[in-house]
Structure 1
Amino acid sequence: MVQVEMYEGIPGSEDEPVWQGVYTLRIVNDEITSGIVVISEEEFSLGIGSVTLTIEEEMDNPFDVSFTGLPESVKEEEDVTVMAVGTYGDEATFRWFVNGRSRGINANEYIFSSNSAGLYNISLLVSDGEVVGGHRQPVEVLQATTEVAADLASLEIGYAGEDTSANVTENVILPVTGLNGTHITWNSSDESLVNCSGLVTRPAHSAGDAAVQLTATVTRGTVAETKSFTLTVAKLPQTDAEAVAADKELLEVGFAGLDNADNVTQNVNLPSSGTNGTTITWSSGAVETISTSGVVNRPDYTGESDVTVVLTATISRGGISETKTFSLTVKIILQEQTVTFVSNGGSLVDPQTVYWGYTVGEPTAPTRVGFSFEGWFTDSELTDQWDFIHDYVDGDITLNAKWGDGYRISFNSQGGLNPSPTYITVGYGLAYGELANTAKVGHTFQGWHVDPEGEGGEVTPDTIVAINADHILYAVWQPNTQTITFDAQGGLYDGSDTMIVTYGQMYGELPIATRESYNFSGWWTGLDGTGSLVTESTVFTGTIDRTLYAKWTFDVIVGPAGGLVFYDNPNYEIDGWRYLEAAPYGWYDKETHSAGTYIGDDDPYIQWGAQGYTVDPPATATGIGTGAKNTANIISYHDTLWTLYPEKGDYYANPKDYYEGNDGTVAAKICDEFSIENEGVIYDDWFLPSKDELNFMYQNLQMQSKGGFSWNYYWSSSESNDEFAWIHEFQNGGQYDYAFGGRANAYKVRPVRVF
């Protein structure tokens, strides 16, 4: 037995009194009421929250509390009546709870229902004013899947009278509940036809029958399924106005034979009724031409013209009328006239029968050997020419042929030179005689032809004129072909070294050349990339055979000494070396040069050597692979020059004793003394390049903007005579000796080496 102040609520929420005062709570732990009240240390739970209680003592049971009618499980939205039972008195009060929440019902019975599946605890507290008794029992609410499926399967729409889903004319019945306690809601694809309450609005007759889809959603608790119905709502009966409008749209005048509204020659059919039950009456704007019954009276051809008549139809039904007009042109009755052709010595031309007021169809021109036809004339003097487009027949007429001295035959050179003469005059049936002369660059003349494409054979001086009119002869040309020869300039390529090209057409596919250490830069009309570049799409316009030259761009790489490689020796297996390497940019490390104090990284200015003295052994070699020997000879000569001129002494110490302009520097010696370390290796085998070696340095480095060269003159090791040596201009590529190559001049120097 405990005494507790009872409050309603959920733990943590604001309390609400259940009953006022302190009540005695009977705690029952027998099999029937087990779990209704659970004592755990100093707290208990009764499905309505938690409260603190004080256990004083057990006491006798004043009454038993229980309820009946609650099964172990029910379906969603299924009502279950639960009835309280026990030994309480008539004055007892009742409190029902579901999952701890009060239902606010003070009665000995409670109707339980849930729209959501799950496990629920139903609790009852009974008080007689002094003692509180309680009972709790679980119940499982199951989803109403079976009930929803059953009601979905049996669901149908109700139709009035003889209506069906294919022909709805009245409101339909849309059920809102199922036999198994389900709820049914409806959705319409077009509420203007059938709304969700089943109200039907039929479309107008002109709109035709209309389809609508109704979708029912059958629901019970958390289970919902849909079912769709397609209904065809019948159009409304046709009104008089609709019938009149429909027959007006369909109404047309009926024509006989090939007649139409613009060409009426026979009676017309004027309908008196429409397909929708209308009556049609007619009025005519010219009853003398077209009567109201469709009888046509055509006008005479003399002095009259075609007549346009407006017919008006009145379409009526049930007091509703509308009109529709038609404009018809009634043609005059035509009179046949005869046109006679007099050829005046030419070939026969048949007469024509032509309606009065019509034009004459121009016949094929007559022919007469030795003459040219010049037209038809209405008078024997041949002064009034008949115009077949603008002149009209107003009676029987005779047309007379006029003849001239011959036809004008013009020449079209089709891109060639202006023909000479530009035209000739020749009579029909005679030989053309001497024809014009012309020519066309890159083409061979194939003769004169009547057809621009040369079809139908060539026209020669002996060809007889068979065209009975002025006409044109066209020059036909055959493009010439030439042989193209490929010069790979030291490279290799697959296939033939020649190809045939056609004037005025593209070269087409060209061979691809390869060369070790070089990149192929295309085929050119001149050596070393001069002239024009020729590609597959280049149009050939030459008139003679041509040679195309491969252009090569050296594939510059970095040499072992850190400089740039600019030459690959094709004879390296014989010569014992393969590559020429230029000293790297900024190679010069001395404080002075021939131009004074040396500042920066550009190549230095250095004199070639003693002016007026011939190197012996000579340093005149210019070819590839001769620079090292030239350099050695130049150095040896200058080192021993004093032995030849002891009175002048050492050249390096007394250069002006040899020549006033000398400063004692020797380009070859500067190169020979150069040494550089790269990746732990010392390279000291440098020399002044020969004339041809210097040229390759220019072509393969300077022309590719590589190596950091100046736009200036550079010394080679190749002497010309005792006054001059070869230099190379690194701006435009020129090589000089006598003009600027005085040895005492200070020019740029770049050492090279082989490996």
Structure 2
Amino acid sequence: MKRISNLIFIFFTLLLITTSCKEDEATILIGDAISPVIKYVSMPSQSSTIPGRNVYINGIGFSSEDSISCRSLEEEADFTAPVMSADNYGIKIFVPEIAGGEYEVSVTRNNLTTVLGEHLFVAFVFTIDNLSVPASAESGEDLVITGEGFMNGDQVLFESDYYPQGISYVAETDMATDGVSFTVPDGCYGMNNITLLRGKKTCNMGTINIPVNVGDQIGGGVVFYTSDNGVHGLIAAQENVVNEQVFGPSIQVDPYASGVSEDIFTGKNNTDILIDGIALWRAAGNSAEPTVAELCGQYSVEINGIIYNDWFLGSLNEMTELFNYRATLANAYEFVPAQNYWTSSVIPGSNWAWAYHYVNFWESETLITGAAPCDVWAIAARPIRQF
């Protein structure tokens, strides 16, 4: 009996020891669970984070088993980004088409989550597959752009570097068989960047050239010269900025007028040089009334609610083209009155800008140019702008 009791005691003792060992073993295997530790995180730029594409987040501590959750901070749709791969330097995720704006990013592993200190910024863009855009169109023309991925309500935005600041044009679209149709807005001209608008999101569709003709009234004035089949050109204001005024003081070419040219499409740069030059002249303690270049640069006109304020004094060759255009008009003097007109091109061959080229608009057909003493002759100036 005593032997049986001893056996029972030994059995329960072994059982207790075994259980204790298992509990200790389990504790060692599980350990203390902690959230993922991710260091040195660097997010991709917003411009490179495009919906529908993979992006790479730099950082140490990511795993291919991670779940990446993105919570919108701009009331856009939240999403869980599929993990494409992970390595010692970061993680590659897929950004879905619905994404856009700023996101708080969380990394979950083994049911524990770490919120990253850096935010992911997704570009508000989308793509159109197999996109085909006509190279050119006319203002008011009905146009079709083909591609896959258009939606009802899409709009087409027309923008140009030569439109006044803040001015753009928007066309409403209709769904077509292979894309969308719309009418090119009135007022568009020159080279236009076109963008598809869908709420906050955009799709860059490239450019469309909208040519114009000499004599067209657009862009705040009258087109008097074109190049590149009407895509670029020059526009004259419909009035003089002055009728009788000296150009300004006779000053040294270097540094006050260095770099001016006689060529087409240099009048804007000439005017900027001359405005900066007279500012330096005054800063050196000299006095000067507003110059003709400054008056042209300050000229502004509002037409149909649009303010055009990027005018300048034309170069010799630009003002020559204005004379050539005026010579073709039946009522030439109604457009540009008879007078001599300043240009922004200095007479070469002297260290002093004592004279600037002028163009004689007293003549109706014969072109006459010459040197006008800048602080003696009081003649006219007509602002122009370019596109």
| Structure 1 length-normalised TM | 0.21
Q: Which has the larger radius of gyration?
A: 1
Asked which structure has the greater RCO (Cα within 8 Å, sep 6+), the reply is: 2
Quick check: which one's helix share is greater?
A: 2
| Structure 2 length-normalised TM | 0.39
